[in-house]
Amino acid sequence: MTEVYSPAEDSYFFSEFLKKYISKKRINSYLDMGTGSTILSDTVSKVLSRKNILVADINPTAVRLAREKGFNAIETDLFENIKDKFDLITFNAPYLPKDLRESKSSQLATTGGRRGDEISLKFLGQAKKHLKKNGKVFLLISSLTPLDKINKFNPEIVARKKIFMEELFILEFF
Ligand SMILES: C[S@@+](CC[C@H](N)C(=O)[O-])C[C@H]1O[C@@H](n2cnc3c(N)ncnc32)[C@H](O)[C@@H]1O
């Protein structure tokens, strides 16, 4: 069984950002890509009915736990099994370059590929067509993630936070 990512500094940082965002912007539909513990959906569900929230994860254990908490949850590799469009899509992505010392189980939540940006780039390549008019995508990555290819999607840095050995960035797209 693959472990589910326990909320960490990145999760709390993103959750605080979202709390402020949804207090200012009205949204009617939300996709929580890579939901893990559902921490981000827990935040959004304070203002949006759970029936308008879809949580998604490649990890079947995360999906099962999310369903037990009452969320609509789908097991999917990024948008593979998702047809709908949303006002808001977030992804606290696995953003670290591959480290062979890390266990396979935790790599699923933390490793973005050999360079670290591969999953984020695939996500960005698919996300736009799942946005409603004026919809927004927020992606969390870190200073350890290469930015050269991600920058081609014209992100705006909307929040940043220094933690132990890195800096976290929340990027807005589209
Ligand atoms: C850094 S964790 C974030 C979890 C949670 N959203 C949070 O903020 O604490 C990344 C999550 O993305 C999921 N994930 C990794 N690759 C994925 C993929 N290709 N499609 C969907 N989810 C994926 C992992 O299983 C994990 O739950």
Q: How far apart are the first and last CA of the chain?
A: 36
Domain residue spans in the chain?
9-173
Give the pLDDT band of residue 101 (cuts 50, 70, 90): confident
The ligand 1 atom nearest the CA atom of 7: 9
N residues, the chain: 174
For residue 103, pLDDT beyond 80: yes
CA distance 58 to 66: 12
Tokens 């605080």 map to which residue?
16
CA distance 122 to 49: 29
Residue-wise pLDDT tens digits, 109-119: 999 999 999 99
> 59, 63, 142, 161: which to mutate for ligand 1, most atoms within 8 A of CB?
59
Please state, for a pLDDT cut of 90, what percent of the chain lies above it: 90
Domain 9-173 adopts which CATH fold?
Answer: Rossmann fold (3.40.50)
Return the residue whose CA atom lies nearest to atom 4 of ligand 1: 36
Residue-wise pLDDT tens digits, 16-59: 999 999 999 999 999 999 999 999 999 999 999 999 999 999 99
For residue 89, pLDDT beyond 80: yes
Cβ-proximal residues to 170 (8 Å cutoff; 6+ apart), any chain:
13, 14, 17, 138, 139, 140, 157, 158, 159, 160
E-strand stretches of 42-162: 53-57, 72-75, 86-92, 96-97, 111-113, 131-142, 156-162
For residue 2, pLDDT beyond 90: no
Q: Is 78 in the pocket of ligand 1 (CB under 6 A)?
A: yes
Check residue 88 and give left, alpha or beta (phi > 0: left; psi -120 to 50: alpha). beta
More confident residue, 2 or 134: 134
Return the residue whose CA atom lies nearest to atom 8 of ligand 1: 11
Task: Give the pLDDT of residue 105.
Answer: 80
Q: Is 116 in the pocket of ligand 1 (CB under 6 A)?
A: no
